[in-house]
Amino acid sequence: MWVITLTTDFGLRDAYVACMKGVILGIAPESRIVDVSHSVSPQDIREAGFLLAAAWPYFPAGTLHVAVVDPGVGTSRRPIAVVTEHGTFIGPDNGIFCPALQAMGRIEPQTGALKGAHGVELTSEDHRLKPTSRTFHGRDIFAPAAGHLATGVPLEHLGGAIDRVTTLDLPGFRRRGRTLEGAVAHIDGFGNVITSIPGRELPPEPVIRIGDATIQGLAESYQDRPLGALVSSGGFLEIAVRNGDAARRLGVRRGDPVEVLEAP
Amino acid sequence: MWVITLTTDFGLRDAYVACMKGVILGIAPESRIVDVSHSVSPQDIREAGFLLAAAWPYFPAGTLHVAVVDPGVGTSRRPIAVVTEHGTFIGPDNGIFCPALQAMGRIEPQTGALKGAHGVELTSEDHRLKPTSRTFHGRDIFAPAAGHLATGVPLEHLGGAIDRVTTLDLPGFRRRGRTLEGAVAHIDGFGNVITSIPGRELPPEPVIRIGDATIQGLAESYQDRPLGALVSSGGFLEIAVRNGDAARRLGVRRGDPVEVLEAP
Amino acid sequence: MWVITLTTDFGLRDAYVACMKGVILGIAPESRIVDVSHSVSPQDIREAGFLLAAAWPYFPAGTLHVAVVDPGVGTSRRPIAVVTEHGTFIGPDNGIFCPALQAMGRIEPQTGALKGAHGVELTSEDHRLKPTSRTFHGRDIFAPAAGHLATGVPLEHLGGAIDRVTTLDLPGFRRRGRTLEGAVAHIDGFGNVITSIPGRELPPEPVIRIGDATIQGLAESYQDRPLGALVSSGGFLEIAVRNGDAARRLGVRRGDPVEVLEAP
């Protein structure tokens, strides 16, 4: 029994996701397939990477994570699989796995060199659907790779080893004197604003500047304050509006700056 | 093999639902997880309660129903599990289970006292994810509880017994002379208007007043009439427009009044 | 272990899909249920037919495909099941299976006569949910039929044999001199325009006229050109805009004409 997760921008109207599941179940009938999201904004590699980085810590270590946000499908971008002790990642080498691999310390942030992880380029013709389309590698390359790995095919049968993967310039945080500087990393479906500043870096009495607002201190729950800051379920500084949409209230978008000062 | 259903307002864009599924499969790999809905309107406890009350009768009796519409997460509202002979309900004690438990006669409508059902407050630290966040009990408390119950952990290991749950003031119906008075209980994705008046209470030739319309008699099918009344698949008076949106046509919203008279 | 797919227009807000899954798992606990789509446009039999025809080739041959876009529920339209060597199709006899059965050569396009396929009308009272509603045969007739077939009940126990099914007037293609004439068959969630012209019929250097555009030659990938034509993952001529919405750019809708000429 293997768990296989899927993260795509294919949406839920079409049959694309179902085709991938059919291919997987045809090869590995006992696998359990879990959707992470198929509503990633079209071609938004960063959003998919954020979601996968949010999800993997809660899955069994042997889980196969397939992610297909793939504007470069059919070009020279490589199809890859990367095995770590926390899970295996299968998809295009376009940076989509960078947030997850960086969070688990399995790549050098600057170079993308793998550390304590094994990667291959998925070149094996024997482990693809035939004919292989130029436009749907999710179905023709990535789903079969997941299926074969789930049935016990060794990683090295799927292609030649790689030693680095493509990275993204992820929103991070830095200290400038007594100020922490970060950015909006994600806006969730409730409108909650999740930043790139880890909760463990926050001072005891933070003063947060974001959009047109200044927020004093941390809230205890979403109900605590009309506009509150708290540590998100993923461990980062989050801004929320009680029963409302914080991103709209603050007028912020992904990438916008966030500052945290220590109360004087 | 246990079936576990999920009902939330988390939406399908984010990884929140997937995190819950990962936690469940990590504890109870053989469980079958079924989504009831993740598109409940944000913080709409009544809507979630309606959907769960519509779903549970069609699931095996041993099914574990996890529902997380939880605006009070992190406050003093209790996390609970209630076992009945028709299924087990796991989530916040905010009224979300009231429609299901009331329909199966397992609570006193006024007091919320449990009748022929066993409940606990989910206080066991050993059956939570650690660290336990203040903002995502779906992942940290309810999913683990479902997983542990699915693997056979006895209910009483999860916390101390409770004898009542929070209730909602649900739309009902009453007789006033020859008139039945009820309300719009739910508007479904087609725009069909489902009322709180049970089909079995209807007179042989009902005259229905709702919004700006008066409808004579019952239709045999959705195709039967341009604007028709029929008994819904859940057993309640329903108003539908042939291949159209009845709620928009009638201009009604949840809670609006519905009257049924007997044809003279 | 049987795979059962579901294709409906029930949407993801309501509990309708979950009710069907509960019924299936109650009868056939070991079945694997895969959603093809529940976001078919309301009452759009053609769209559901297109999606199912796109999905079935990627599922194991024994898969049970349940499709419920059923504006005629409760009328005289027949509930049916059709078994082929590529899969079994269960739903209303309203043409929804026509695209799949025609693509696999299992019906006469004009008459709907079955060829090398066995069909029944689902009349057996013993294999329905009781009471059987007039408005939700997905739950009360089709889900039970799938569950019973998955547990090994012979097809002929479910009802009397039928020898033809309802057909749709599907968009095809024809040659007129050196010109191929077809139509827009589907617009996917990215806005890609999928036509009814098979890729194998295209001349080496096609000139494509669609909406207000003329497109010269075929692209190699979605990135290749700002507005490109290519062979879709399903094998048909497709028009796409790089990282954009081709249907909006071209101003086309399903059914609009497409012409392919040979470059002079």
User: Residue A87 region, left (φ>0) first, then alpha (ψ -120 to 50), else beta?
Assistant: left
| Strand blocks (E) in C107-247 | 118-121, 161-162, 174-176, 179-187, 193-198, 206-210, 213-216, 227-231, 236-241
Chain B interface, best mutation among A221, A231, A236, A238, by max B CB count within 10 A? A221
% chain B with pLDDT above 70: 100
Chain C residues inside the 8 Å CB shell of B1: 29-30
Mean pLDDT of B229-250: 94
Please tell me if residue C111 touches chain A, with a CB cutoff of 8 Å: no
The closest CB to that of C55, out of A18, A25, A43, belongs to A18
Confidence of residue B129 (pLDDT cuts 50, 70, 90): very high
Q: What is the average per-residue pLDDT within A215-237?
A: 92
Which residues, 6 or more positions from A86, have their beta carbon under 8 angstroms from its beta carbon?
Answer: A56, A57, A61, A104
Q: Cβ of B46: how many Cβ atoms within 10 Å?
A: 22
Of A51, A223, A243, the CB nearest to B15: A51
CB-neighbour burial class of residue A60 (10 A; exposed 0-12, middle 13-18, buried 19+): middle
CA A29 – CA B111 distance, rounded (Å): 48
CB-based contact B221 C72, cutoff 8 Å: yes
- The model's pLDDT over B143-185, given as tens digits with 9 standing for 90+, comes to 999 999 999 999 999 999 999 999 999 988 999 999 999 999 9
Q: Which residues of B touch A236 (CB under 8 A)?
A: none
pLDDT band at A220 (very low <50, low <70, confident <90, very high): confident
Question: CA–CA separation, A6 vs C70, rounded Å?
Answer: 30
Structure-derived torsion over alpha carbons of residues A118, A124, A129, A131, reported in degrees to the nearest 10: 140
In angstroms, rounded to a whole number, what is the distance separating the alpha carbons of residues C62 and C78?
A: 23
Query: Cα C248 from chain centroid?
Result: 23
Of A98, A79, A89, A94, the residue nearest A137 (C-alpha):
A79
Which pLDDT score, from 0 to 100, does residue B1 have? 66
Tens of pLDDT along C193-213?
999 999 999 999 999 999 989
Average pLDDT of every residue of chain B = 96
Kindly list the residues from chain B whose CB atom is less than 8 angstroms away from the CB atom of residue C26: 58-60
pLDDT at position B224: 86
* Alpha carbon B111 to chain centroid, angstroms: 19
Give me the phi and psi of A2, to 5 degrees please: -120, 145
Query: How far off is chain C from B224, nearest CA to CA, in Å?
Result: 8
Please give the pLDDT value at position B198: 96
How many C-beta atoms lie closer than 10 Å to residue B20's C-beta?
29
State the CB neighbour count (10 A cutoff) for residue A261.
16
Q: Compare all CA atoms of chain C with the CA of A131 and give the residue at the minimum distance.
A: C233
Return d(Cα C157, Cα C118) in angstroms, integer.
Answer: 13
The pLDDT score that the predictor gives to residue A1 is 66
Give the pLDDT score at A224.
86
- Tell me what pLDDT residue A263 has: 80
Q: Examine the pLDDT at C17 and tell me if it is beyond 80.
A: yes
Whether C212 and C158 have beta carbons less than 8 Å apart is answered as: no
| B34–chain C Cβ distance below 8 A for any pair | yes
A11 → closest Cβ in C35, C55, C189:
C189
Give every CB contact of residue C244 below 8 A, 6+ residues apart in sequence. C191
Q: Contact at 8 Å (CB) between C137 and C76? A: no
| Residue A167 touches chain B, beta carbons under 8 Å | no
In sequence order, what are the beta bridge partners of C206? C262
Looking at residue A77, its pLDDT comes to 95
Total beta-carbon pairs less than 8 A apart between chain B and chain C: 98
Mark residue A229 as left, alpha or beta (left: phi above 0; alpha: psi -120 to 50; beta: remaining): beta
Among all residues of chain A, which has the CA nearest to that of B140?
A233
pTM: 0.96
Neighbours of B, requiring at least 3 CB pairs below 8 Å, are A, C
Instruction: Please give the ipTM for the structure prediction.
Output: 0.96
Please check whether residue C146 is in contact with residue C153, taking contact to mean a CB–CB distance below 8 angstroms. Answer: no
pLDDT digits (tens, 9 = 90+) for A106-118: 999 999 999 999 9
Per-residue pLDDT tens over the stretch C207-236: 999 998 999 999 988 888 899 999 999 999
How far is Cα C161 from Cα C143, in angstroms, rounded to an integer?
Answer: 19
pLDDT confidence of residue B43: 93
Tell me the C-alpha distance between B240 and B187, whole Å: 10
Per-residue CA distances from B248 to A24, B187, B194, C23, C157 (Å)? 42, 10, 13, 31, 43
Nearest to B65 by CA among B151, B6, B118, B119: B6
The total number of residues shown for chain B amounts to 264
Selected for mutation to probe chain B from A233, A242, A245, A248 (highest B CB count within 10 Å) is A233
In this predicted structure, the answer to whether residue A210 has a pLDDT above a threshold of 80 is yes
Q: How confident is the model at residue C26 (pLDDT cuts 50, 70, 90)?
A: very high
Q: So what's the pLDDT on residue C23?
A: 98
Q: What is the mean pLDDT of residues B201-221?
A: 94
Q: Is A73 part of the contact surface with chain C (CB cutoff 8 Å)?
A: yes
Closest residue to A233, CB basis, from B25, B30, B139? B139
* Residues on chain B touching C43 (C-beta within 8 angstroms): 243
- 8 Å CB contact between B92 and B66: no
**Contact of A38 with A10, CB cutoff 8 Å:** yes
CB contact (8 A) between residue C12 and residue A12? yes
What is the distance in angstroms between the CA of the first residue and the CA of the last residue of chain B?
Answer: 55
**Cβ atoms within 10 Å, residue A152:** 8
* Sequence letter at residue B146: A
* C226 in contact with A, Cβ within 8 Å: no
Q: Does residue B119 contact residue B162 with C-beta atoms inside 8 Å?
A: yes
Q: Which of C15, C26, C133 sits opposite B36 (nearest CB)?
A: C15
* Angle between helical axes of B143-150 and B16-27 (0-180°, round to 10): 30
The tokens 């296989």 sit on which residue?
A4
Rg (CA), chain B: 20
Say what the pLDDT of residue A26 is: 97
Hey, what amino acid is at B44? D
- Reading the block at residue A85, the tokens are 């002790």
Q: Note the pLDDT of residue C1.
A: 66
Residue A72 at interface with chain C, using a CB cutoff of 8 Å: yes
C60-106 pLDDT, tens per residue?
A: 999 999 999 999 998 899 999 999 999 999 999 999 999 999 999 99
pLDDT in tens, C35-48: 999 999 999 999 99
Q: What chain B residue is nearest to C42 in terms of C-alpha separation?
A: B190
Contact C239, C210 (CB under 8 A): yes
Q: Which residue from C143, C120, C113 is spatially nearest to C101, judged by alpha carbons?
A: C113
Q: HSE of B246 in the Cβ direction (CA atoms, 13 Å)?
A: 27
pLDDT tens-digit map of C137-181: 999 999 999 999 999 999 999 999 999 999 999 988 999 999 999
Distance from CA of C222 to the nearest CA of B (A): 24
pLDDT value for C92: 98
Question: How large a percentage of chain C has pLDDT more than 70?
Answer: 100
When scoring B6, B10, B13 by the number of chain A Cβ atoms within 10 A, the one with the most, hence best to mutate, is B13
Q: Quick: pLDDT tens for A125-169.
A: 999 999 999 999 999 999 999 999 999 999 999 999 999 999 999
Query: Which residue from B70, B81, B63, B73 is spatially nearest to B123, judged by alpha carbons?
Result: B81
Determine the Cα–Cα distance for residues C91 and A17; give it in Å rounded to an integer. 22
**SS (HEC) of C192-219:** CEEEEEEHHHCCCCEEEEECCEEEECCC
